[in-house]
DNA sequence: GCAACGAGTCGCTAT
DNA sequence: ATAGCGATTCGTTGC
């Protein structure tokens, strides 16, 4: 890996027409060579979690030219990703630091509390939603998307459960209703005990709900009794596990 | 700004329960002090456009302890964001570089070809969609979201145009239909020439469409004649401008 | 402050 | 390869 502190300007072309970064003090990370993945990141030194310009993994440093000495050193670097048609030119006007360090030991990241774990904990604890639910599957594929948790209730109805680790939006509620429209077409469910003439139920599970979501669901429930919502937090699921 | 090349491990707690980064060779960017926005980024030296761990703008370096000399230097850094309840601990086992450089000249980024420009170009060229359309507004607010472009057709119908710079999804089509259900409730439209008894029309405009989207719209169109799709690319809009 | 929404999103999983 | 979808998403705009 290579770290460059400098004053530079950039010009990107590729996925959008262009992105021009005006001259400023930046920090550049370049993961070139056999050591790295080919990505390059250009950060403003002052602000921004996201880079101002970047090139994705698989890019190549195709041009590197320098002139001048020490702090008056100026340079041009061109990074390209041919198959994606992307190109980034970096015009360096003042160089402060150009350091290399090998990547010997790679990091491994272990996360606790993400959405897939929320869904997994809930799928192991379906009584929290309703008595007698049996897990049929997770990430169940339909023509209109994947149902987070699919379960069977004691009456033989399919129950689609949509989980959100954070706030559920009205779009999530609509998506759940789409699943309810789609599930009756899935013939494989009868083999799992689902009675086809019974329409499926839907539950939107989240720790909080955006404006209007619960109201919309309650209206739907009054009209068809097929969709409902349930407030459940990650901590709640963790507590029940013990 | 400060750049640290080292071998380190991290522990984050906050928005998720925890994220533990195993010992590895990393590059750390720290924008501390009056110079920066308080953010911190920890990159694996080998791979990843996104940081493995990070802290958002507004964080504070609350602890910094060092022991040992030169390359045997070891350290602990703790970064906290109190109002958000986030905390990142960095355990440095081997220090290679610890460099500071001021942020004097800030960059400015100018992008060409983003979604808002796609929408702007189209709003100036509504004949591409249909003859005689008059622009009523952009980002028109409804109870269920913002209509990208709202126009008036020669018959006095409101026309809601949803634009996507890249691929349009089935969710975009559903969202457009929600606008069509909502717009008749907007009484301010009559003042702009919209005849209230005429139901609004909807057009989904994008350079490409995800699987099933055009089919769904065509079905809707057969049923109600109120929604349609149109394939338009950014380059097409640019060419017509000249 | 929250809410909606795009992003050159990225990154992961499964088809 | 593409599709679907979450993310400690981030960043912007409008209220």
Q: What's the rounded Cα separation, in Å, for the pair B142 and A118?
A: 33
Q: What is the mean pLDDT of residues A12-35?
A: 96
Q: Say yes or no for a CB contact (<8 Å) between B108 and A21.
A: yes
A35 touches chain B (CB under 8 A): yes
Q: What are phi and psi of B143, to 5 degrees?
A: -70, -20
* Cβ B146 to strand C below 7 Å: yes
Contact A172, A162 (CB under 8 A): yes
- Is B75's pLDDT higher than 90? yes
Report the pLDDT averaged over residues B173-197.
91
**3 state SS of A166:** coil
CA of A169 and C1' of D5: distance in angstroms?
Answer: 15
Q: Is the CB of B211 under 7 A from strand D?
A: yes
Of A5, A17, A24, nearest to B106 by CB-CB distance is A24
Strand D reaches within 7 A of the B153 CB: no
Supply the pTM of this predicted model: 0.93
- Interface contact flag, B3 A3, Cβ < 8 Å: yes
Q: How large is the average pLDDT for residues A59-74? A: 92
Average pLDDT of A28-37? 95
Q: For a pLDDT cut of 90, what percent of chain A falls above it?
A: 86
Residue of A nearest to B33 (CA): A46
B residues 47-106 near A, CB within 8 Å? 47-49, 51-54, 56-57, 96-97, 99, 101-106
Is B110 in contact with A3 (Cβ distance < 8 A)? no
Answer for A225: CB within 7 Å of strand C. Answer: no
Q: Is the pLDDT of residue B125 over 80?
A: yes
Cβ B107–A35 below 8 Å, yes or no? Answer: no
- Hey, are the CB atoms on A57 and B47 less than 8 Å from each other? yes
Split at pLDDT 50, 70, 90, the class of B105 is very high
Please say whether the beta carbons of B1 and B101 come within 8 A. yes
Higher-pLDDT residue of B69 and A24 is A24
Return the ∠ at Cα B202 (arms to B201 and B207), rounded to 5°.
150
The answer to whether A5 CB is within 7 Å of strand C is no
Percent of chain B whose predicted confidence (pLDDT) is above 70: 100
Is the Cβ of B115 closer than 8 Å to some Cβ of chain A? no
**pLDDT of A71 strictly over 80:** no
% of chain B at pLDDT higher than 90:
78
Is the pLDDT at B225 greater than 80? The verdict is no
The answer to whether residue A110 scores a pLDDT higher than 90 is: yes
> Residue A211 above 90 pLDDT?
no
Per-residue pLDDT, A221: 87
A210 in B contact zone (CB under 8 Å): no
- Describe the crossing of helices B170-182 and B213-224 by its angle, rounded to 10 degrees: 30
pLDDT of B210 reads 87
**Cβ neighbours, 10 Å, residue A199:** 15
Query: Two tokens at B156?
Result: 């006095």
Q: Average pLDDT in the A174-199 region?
A: 92
């Amino acid at each position: 890996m290579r770290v460059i502190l400098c004053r530079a300007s950039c010009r990107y072309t590729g996925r959008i027409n262009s992105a021009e970064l005006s001259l400023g003090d930046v920090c550049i990370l370049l993961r070139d060579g056999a050591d790295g993945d080919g990505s390059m990141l250009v950060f403003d030194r002052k602000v921004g979690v996201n880079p101002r310009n970047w090139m994705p993994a698989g890019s190549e440093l195709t041009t590197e030219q320098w002139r001048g000495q020490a702090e008056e050193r100026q340079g041009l670097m061109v990074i390209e990703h041919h198959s994606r048609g992307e190109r980034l030119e970096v015009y360096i006007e003042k160089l402060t630091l150009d350091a290399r360090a090998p990547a010997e030991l790679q990091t491994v990241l272990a996360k606790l509390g993400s959405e897939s774990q929320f869904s997994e904990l809930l799928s192991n604890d379906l009584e929290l939603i309703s008595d007698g639910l049996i897990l049929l599957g997770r990430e169940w594929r339909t023509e209109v998307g994947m149902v987070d948790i699919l379960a069977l209730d004691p009456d033989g109805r399919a129950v689609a459960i949509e989980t959100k680790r954070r706030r559920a939006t009205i779009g999530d509620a609509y998506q759940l209703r789409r699943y309810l429209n789609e599930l009756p077409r899935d013939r494989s469910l009868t083999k799992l005990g689902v009675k086809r003439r019974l329409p499926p139920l839907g539950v939107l599970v989240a720790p909080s709900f955006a404006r209007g979501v619960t109201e919309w669901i309650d209206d739907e429930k009054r009209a068809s009794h097929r969709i409902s919502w349930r407030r459940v937090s990650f901590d709640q699921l963790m507590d029940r596990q013990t």
